Amino acid sequence: MQDLKAVCQHLRKFADARDWNQFHSPKNLSMALSVEVSELVECFQWLTEEQSHSLNAVQLAAVTDEIADIQLYLVRLADKVGVDIGTAVEQKIEKNEAKYPAAKVRGSSKKYSEYE
């Protein structure tokens, strides 16, 4: 079920079967998304940079679940507000390429507004 449109349809059916649409407002979904992102951050809390690159099986399973939760809420939110994630991602990549030309920013983590 890799296709986002298929995931979106599956989530619609999932929510409909449970009568959860009444709870799935953009406000509530964005708040739930924030909570899931915080849970992902918690998976890495207190790890060193090196440890964050070499998770054990239990840690990786927790990270995997949180990434899935984030994606599910994000797909549901996008559906509710009428955003096509694929198109939005393509457009954002184009914007980022314009803001951060490789020849100018290579090896730097500065924000685009910090470049001349």
101 assigned to some structural domain: yes
**pLDDT of 78-108, one tens digit each?**
999 999 999 999 999 999 999 999 999 999 9
Give how many domains the chain has, as a whole number: 1
Domain with 72 in it: what CATH number? 1.10.287.1080
113 assigned to some structural domain: no
**pLDDT of 102-114, one tens digit each?**
999 999 999 988 8
At 55, is the secondary structure helix, strand, or coil? coil
Packing angle of the helix pair 57-81, 85-99 (nearest 10 deg): 100
Q: By residue range, what is the domain housing residue 30?
A: 4-107
**pLDDT of 21-55, one tens digit each?**
999 999 999 999 999 999 999 999 999 999 999 99
